Amino acid sequence: MARTRAIQAAEAQLWLEVLLTYAFSPTPAQQAAQLDLLGVAHDATAYPDDIPDDRLAELLLAWAECYVGGEDWQRLQAKIRQRRSQ
């Protein structure tokens, strides 16, 4: 059984960076997915006091559940683990 996806609030900003890179990679996500994520990124950076890290983590997880496939999710988790160790 596959593990439930999760994004820790403390890593929300890191996930935002990784998901933006994913959405605009050489094999980009759908335009709707890109626009949704850009909206989240804009709000999180323009109004950081209005979107605490735990809420940002929820928004990013909801986006990922809609637009990131299982294999891609595993690759993104590996990127996060790699960046944690740096």
* Residue 41 neighbours by CB under 8 Å, 6+ apart: 16, 20
Residue 1 lies in a domain: no
What does R_g of the chain's alpha carbons equal in angstroms? 12
Q: What is the pLDDT of residues 49-74, one digit of tens each?
A: 999 999 999 999 999 999 999 899 99
Q: Are 37 and 68 spatial neighbours (Cβ–Cβ below 8 Å)? A: no
Residue 31 lies in a domain: yes
Q: Are 20 and 77 spatial neighbours (Cβ–Cβ below 8 Å)? A: no
What residues make up the domain containing 23? 9-84
Residue 4 lies in a domain: no
Q: Are 67 and 30 spatial neighbours (Cβ–Cβ below 8 Å)? A: yes
Residue 36 lies in a domain: yes
Residue 13 lies in a domain: yes
Q: Which pLDDT score is estimated for 28?
A: 66
Q: Are 48 and 40 spatial neighbours (Cβ–Cβ below 8 Å)? A: no
What's the pLDDT band for 2 if we cut at 50, 70, 90? low
Residue 26 lies in a domain: yes
Mean pLDDT of the chain: 92
Q: Which pLDDT score is estimated for 86?
A: 82
Q: Among all chains, which residue has been given the structure tokens 């294999």?
A: 71
Residue 80 lies in a domain: yes
Q: Are 12 and 56 spatial neighbours (Cβ–Cβ below 8 Å)? A: yes
Count of structural domains, the chain: 1
